Chain A
Amino acid sequence: MREENPYRPPIAPAVGEPDIGDIEVYGDDARLCAGVALWMRITGTAYVVAGVLWLMTSAWLLREVEGAASAMFVVAWVVPEILVLLSGVWLVRAGNALAGVGSGTGTLASAFGNLRWHLLAVGLSPVLQLLPMIDWIAEVFP
């Protein structure tokens, strides 16, 4: 049987339904949060860089697209790019909140709240990008 460390109170939520806001984090768990937060910040920053680069490319391409094609271009390219950019910002914010869990400057509730927005944006982005493919798939498989 594993011996419990008396200096490391477990991260246990309050009695009843779990509420992340009630959870306090100490010791090894705080270090785990800080480690995860670091990766989230790095990945979030990479997302922002990718979003900016992608937007710059699209702004250049948009000049050559006209009419109805430009509307689809905006929906299938520009909006997902903005979502990618925003998802990076939310991931960095989630990482910041998670990093501050041990010191009391952040909460798990804030971290998971921002993560939720990141996941929504990052899940919606590829679906929008694939919208123009629907017509093409219908042509290939009539």
Chain B
Amino acid sequence: MRIDETNEITSASTAAFVAAGFLVIVPLFAIVQLGSVPFRVFSLLPVAAMLLPAMVLVLLGLSLRASDSATRLRSGLRRLRVYAIVQLTIVLYGIATLALSLVYP
């Protein structure tokens, strides 16, 4: 398997995350405009949940692109660690939210 293949998939996934991020932002702004719920920082969490991994994935993709140098591959591995930690935070937040919604429906 060539590094370029992984990079292509990373780019595709990045695009999906960015698209999802924007899809979340649009209804959020609509909600704020309509004034149906008060604007809170809490509302921005879903946006961050989409856009943060996207940003990390962009960096990861840049590291893997033309990564014929070992330095870039090492840099890619470090960014992969950041990606895993960011995703872990988001997943734990998701589990906590789900658990709270079950306890206090």
| Chain A interfacial positions (CB closer than 8 Å to B) | 10-13, 17-21, 23, 29, 32-33, 35-36, 39-40, 42-43, 46-47, 49-50, 53-54, 57, 91, 109, 112-113, 115-116, 119-120, 122-124, 126-127, 129-130, 133, 136-137, 140-141
Contacts and interface: CB of A to CB of B under 8 A. Distances in A.
Interface in B68-105: 68-70, 73-74, 77-78, 80-81, 84-85, 87-88, 91-92, 94-95, 98-99, 102
A20 B2 contact: yes
Interface residues of B, number: 47
19 contacts: A11-B74, A13-B3, A17-B4, A19-B1, A36-B77, A39-B81, A43-B84, A43-B91, A46-B88, A46-B92, A50-B95, A112-B6, A119-B10, A120-B13, A123-B12, A123-B20, A126-B17, A127-B20, A130-B24
A50 B94 contact: yes
Majority DSSP secondary structure for residues of A touching B: helix
B26 A137 contact: yes
A14 to B, nearest CB: 10
A23 B57 CA distance: 22
Interface of B: 1-6, 9-10, 12-17, 19-20, 23-24, 26-27, 30, 34, 50, 53, 57, 66-70, 73-74, 77-78, 80-81, 84-85, 87-88, 91-92, 94-95, 98-99, 102
